[in-house]
Amino acid sequence: MKTLYCIGITICTLLVCAGIHPSQAQGTLVGGPCEGCEAVFEYGDRTLTPVDTMPDFTADAENSRLKVTGTIYRPDGETPAGDVILYIYHTNAEGVYPTRGDESGWGRRHGYLRGWIKTDADGKFSFYTRKPGSYGSGPAHIHGMILEPDGKYYYIEQYRFLRDSNTDKGWGDHRGGSGVVKLKEGKGMLVAERDIILGKNINGYDIE
């Protein structure tokens, strides 16, 4: 009994050090392997809302401010989905996933330009962040992961921008719907609007 207790304490300690509360470590990964999808659980004890402002949004370069917004729908593509968690992360303008040195869990890989929202009853969400830069030969992009209220979690197709010349070079798999967005001019920022459909093109989504 003492050995089992010690094992339990060790597991809890590891989870906390990784930024994952033990009560959040439950879920069912669907749609195939996903490196880093566990990061969707790493919001700690914060209360999630439909809006999140990510680090560096208010930095000096106003022309790179970006609003990422949209509606998440249930699998029928019509009914808004409330209480869905969406996690995103991306590079800075130089195409680097920046770190400050105090990150834990997947933050050591994803950097500090990341955030979490929970949709409202109308399925709405918004992130205020900065437009990422590209690296290598690929397009600039934003990664996204979904955590549904019943515990299903999976990645969705990356956000990619029509202004990027590399956008249409075979990057899309349409998980959750197309990730290609047209950047629009908003009030002092660019706006990337994309709706997401739960389970769309996610293999094994309906298999219990």
- Predicted TM-score of the model (pTM): 0.85
| Mean pLDDT, all residues of the chain | 86
What DSSP designation does 132 have?
P
Residue of 63, 60, 84, 88 whose CA lies nearest to 72: 84
Token couple for 120: 């409202």
The secondary structure of 133-193 as a DSSP string is PP-TTSPPEEEEEEE-TTSEEEEEEEEEETTSTTTTSS----TTS--EE--EE-SSSEEEE
Instruction: Decide: residue 80, CB within 10 A, 0-12 exposed, 13-18 middle, 19+ buried.
Output: middle
| Least confident residue range of 15-19, 48-52, 71-75, 195-199 | 15-19
pLDDT in the model for residue 10: 42
Domains identified in the chain and CATH numbers:
2-197 (2.60.130.10)
Predicted confidence (pLDDT) per residue in 16-29, tens digit: 444 444 334 579 99
pLDDT band at 6 (very low <50, low <70, confident <90, very high): very low
Reduced to 3 states, what is the DSSP secondary structure of residue 52?
strand
